[in-house]
Amino acid sequence: MEESPIKKSYYQKEPVKCPVCKASFQKEEMLSGRGRLIAKDITDELRRVYEPGKKAGETYPLIYPVTVCPDCFYSAYPEDFQLIKSDSIPAALSQKEKRKRDINLIFPIVGFRKARNLITGTASHILAVGCYSFQHKECAPTFKKAMSTLRTAWLFDDLNKRYPGQNYDRIRIIMYKKAMNYYERTINYAQTGEERIDAVKHFGPDLDKNYGFEGVLFMSTLLLFKYGDQGSNEQIIQKLQKAKRIVSRIFGMGKSSKSKPSFILELAKNLYKKITTKIAELKEE
Ligand SMILES: [Zn+2]
């Protein structure tokens, strides 16, 4: 991957100590000033689009947020990195080679001692999804898996544009379907209390805006609508009806609340209409 002429990141002075293998490393952070990031629209999937900068070229903010130990590849978002359960550490350590083997099936060469690029940034999310199985319930691990899997799908879209013909488009679809399942599970767990989500500070799904739990409900519905098309007509209709119930919860949530961006309310209403039309079409078939 070619190097861009201007610096896109820096390293934190304070080293991070990996709770799994005890290695010390410096965390890389993105630099966003001086025309490096030119924000454009937000997609239907609530992803922010950036225009390439004149000097900086393409910048992918999503390649930076996950902390990865360069030694054992244990990965998590910074706020969770040190919170791994102590009784999970031996298992997490024993899977060091497995983590590397698994990621090498998708990307044959991956290292985290150099500045991040689109490949290592994508890998960081895949690794995080695996490692959240070792985290406490209080970290909302299923939600973190959902968000990182969705971000992985987005990054595979970027990869496919940059390196076409590598099957990255197919992996992208697999990731969307996985994200659909994780989002659905996140909502179920929140309902049953199996995994609380009150401690989550940033629901994303992208970095620059936080759509709160409404965003989670919206993403779950959208993914069911776009990628829940397997099975018989009957099964798809059932899935879509479930999606409708989920998205309609956004309408009912604190109507006068200032915290709720009307933007997402509008998107939710449109999506509700689209799903209703789709169900009617399927019933006619
Ligand atoms: Zn480590």
pLDDT at 234: 92
Nearest to 66 by CA among 105, 109, 103: 103
Ligand 1 centre distance from Cα of residue 85 (Å): 14
Bigger pLDDT: 39 vs 120: 120
Ligand 1 centre distance from Cα of residue 17 (Å): 8
- Pairwise CA distance, residues 121 & 60, whole Å: 9
What residues sit around ligand 1, an ion, with C-beta below 5 angstroms? 18, 20-21, 23, 69, 71-72, 74
Contact 124, 66 (CB under 8 A): yes
Is residue 37's pLDDT more than 90?
A: no
Within 8 A by CB and 6+ apart from 50, the residues are 37, 38, 39, 40, 58, 59, 60, 61
Ligand 1 centre distance from Cα of residue 20 (Å): 5
153-212 confidence digits (pLDDT tens) = 999 999 999 999 999 999 999 999 999 999 999 999 999 999 988 889 999 999 999 999
80-98 confidence digits (pLDDT tens) = 999 998 999 999 999 999 9
Element (H, E) at 11: strand 9-11
Cis status, amide bond into 205, omega within 30 of 0: yes
pLDDT at 1: 47
Ligand 1 centre distance from Cα of residue 2 (Å): 28
Ligand 1 centre distance from Cα of residue 207 (Å): 25
Ligand 1 centre distance from Cα of residue 223 (Å): 34
Angle at CA of residue 183, ends 180 and 189, nearest 5°: 140
- Pairwise CA distance, residues 223 & 174, whole Å: 12
Ligand 1 centre distance from Cα of residue 136 (Å): 18
Q: Which residues pair with 51 in a beta bridge?
A: 38
229-260 confidence digits (pLDDT tens) = 888 999 999 999 999 999 998 887 655 455 55
Contact 43, 138 (CB under 8 A): no
Ligand 1 centre distance from Cα of residue 71 (Å): 5
Ligand 1 centre distance from Cα of residue 87 (Å): 16
On average, the pLDDT of the chain sits at 92
Is residue 261's pLDDT more than 80?
A: no
Ligand 1 centre distance from Cα of residue 186 (Å): 28
Residue carrying structure tokens 């590598």 = 166
Ligand 1 centre distance from Cα of residue 22 (Å): 6
Contact 152, 168 (CB under 8 A): no
